Structure 1
Amino acid sequence: MSATITVETPLSPDMRAMVQELSDLLLSLTPAEACHHLTAEQMAGERTTVFVARVAGEIAACGALHRHDGGVAEVKRMYTRPAFQGQGLGAMILDRIIEEAKSEGVRQLVLETGWNYEAARKLYERRGFTLCGPVLDYPEHPESVFYSRPLMAETEI
């Protein structure tokens, strides 16, 4: 499998379909009040960079870096389509998100995910994220878990 990862607009027809597919999946696994989606339109804003993995031209996975004030950025919309899972695409995208955040001087990456998304949680933990309390303006919810990873110490060494 040869994948390419590029920055793409979430407003293309195939990315809109991917974003909808992810939203539908999350809503089938998690109560609506614990789902914190960005729409394709929100992802198209200047605060967000969308990374897309394609295999043979087909969108296989995606993830986004969403910037907040105060040197904090958030990992959002991480998803690998079932046919492409287990091939390391999520890790490749997360690595690109981390690289981009570091290059911009982001001091801390945070994220919210579902307590039952075991593969995602393992990926985040392998990439140095640690469990923490609620981040940003997310409410505490029994279906949500939160992760944080400092970046500034790594770039100051």
Structure 2
Amino acid sequence: MDFKVLGFLLCILIGKSVASLRCYACGFNSMDTDQSCLTITNTTHTVECPYTYCTILRQEFRDPAGVVASFVRGCEEDPAFLNHDVSDWTFHTYYRACTSSLCNTGDGIQSVVGGNLSPRPQFEGSNLLVPGTGGAAPGSGYTTFMLLMSFIVTFRALK
């Protein structure tokens, strides 16, 4: 095979698109006095994003309701959620993501638009948050071992 063709195919398989994505990038938390990140202006910082998504994460306290605890505009490869809201006892968190340059505008409450996002249609249900144990369930290794031993004993008995 011609090395030029092989090189071309390799570039197609391995290479990434050279199209550049620009995102607004700023943030603050409830202790900061400068909350200018909430509103996009001509001076809002932008970055060249090497990833797929421009994002907004807005976290509000549940009590007092509507007070912003933290707010971040940025750039991510694999955001936790695309356009979704999550609530717990302390916070109401808005996750927003889009794939067009400078699309992470708005207050973070409304879904952002721009680019080819999934899931479509947009998920309108609710999530049940269940705290994990940080690893496998207790005793799962023992259970696997016992199942394996039972299989071996049964297999030998059938011989």
The answer to whether TM tops 0.5 is no
More strand as a share of residues: 1
For normalisation by structure 1, the TM-score amounts to 0.26
More helix as a share of residues: 1
Asked which structure has the greater CA Rg, the reply is 2
